[in-house]
Structure 1
């Protein structure tokens, strides 16, 4: 049961967004830019969603982990094995050395941003990461710590139905995070 009177029948972050639309807009915009508008430079949307799901799993935020894994899965042809593997053990996941190095950075940001060392950054660069990739990885990890704590700190409703998350992930992957009505 949520700690405050959130709109009923709205899961996770959507309830908090409905409660305070004026704070929802910049939060949605940030998620949209970080996860959906990767442009022609840097990480793919799939990899960005994987980072979001990974950080959310480390923060034990079921709603964010499951919804962003579902978006990554949709962008991965519907296959959930990669997101499951990354959440379980990213080091042995079948992804590029570059993404593994960036996940190592995200893992440290999730604990404390000061734990990102010059050695971790050098390894990411050695694996092909650009300054843009490193910047966005740090910001995705930091933002998802905030989003996760927002969702869990309000004790939002976090349903366990796979179909809902699959549909949500498809919508997020295809349309992004900005609402059509502003």
Structure 2
């Protein structure tokens, strides 16, 4: 049960963002830019960053949501699972493996990102912007994970919920729909 009153038809982060539309707006805009905006990292790669950070923070809602989004973007379910459980064997580029390691280190503490790790990423072709965005996505998802779990937001157990959510975030993005979310209220 959430620590504050939230719309029952909006579990996870959505209900929290609806609670304070003024604070939600800049967070949503930043997320849209980072995960759906122009980048040399694919949308799937950026969702994988969100997935590994959320997994490391043990945020079930965010891990499940962004795993589903990555799976939808990739058209398969193996990669996201492997980056969470066996990253060295994951079917991603060596550059992406190092970027995911940077994200995992940010998840624990930004101070864990070393010059050597950054140089390794650069030697594999990572650009300064890719490194910047990896760190910022990782930091943003630490915020999201703590927001969702810190207010005990509802975490659905139905996999169908996450498939629908993944479709919405992949195909409509992270911005609030102009008419809000009342259409999701089935009461």
TM > 0.5? yes
State yes or no: 1:42 paired with 2:40. Answer: yes
- The corresponding residue for 1:139 is 136
Q: 1:66 aligns with which of 64, 67, 72?
A: 64
State yes or no: 1:17 paired with 2:14. Answer: no
Pairwise CA distance, 1:9: 2.2
Q: Describe how 1:89-108 pairs up with structure 2 within 5 A.
A: 89-108=86-105
Give RMSD over aligned pairs: 1.1
Say which SS state the counterpart of residue 71 (structure 1) adopts. Answer: helix
- The corresponding residue for 2:31 is 31
Partners in 1 of 2:49 and 2:167 — Cα distance? 17
Render the CA deviation track for 1:131-169: whole Å, top value 9, x for unaligned.
010000000000000000000000000001111101111
Q: Describe how 1:75-90 pairs up with structure 2 within 5 A.
A: 75-77=73-75, 79-90=76-87
Q: 1:55 aligns with which of 53, 56, 69?
A: 53
Render the CA deviation track for 1:30-85: whole Å, top value 9, x for unaligned.
11111111x2x4200000001001100000111111111111111111x1111111
Pairwise CA distance, 1:180: 3.1
Structure 1: runs of 5+ lacking an equivalent? none
Say which SS state the counterpart of residue 176 (structure 2) adopts. Answer: coil
Q: 2:125 aligns with which of 118, 125, 128?
A: 128
Partners in 2 of 1:179 and 1:19 — Cα distance? 12
TM-score norm. by structure 1 comes to 0.95
Say which SS state the counterpart of residue 60 (structure 1) adopts. Answer: coil
Partners in 1 of 2:135 and 2:10 — Cα distance? 29
Q: 1:169 aligns with which of 161, 166, 172?
A: 166
* Residues matched between the structures, number: 179
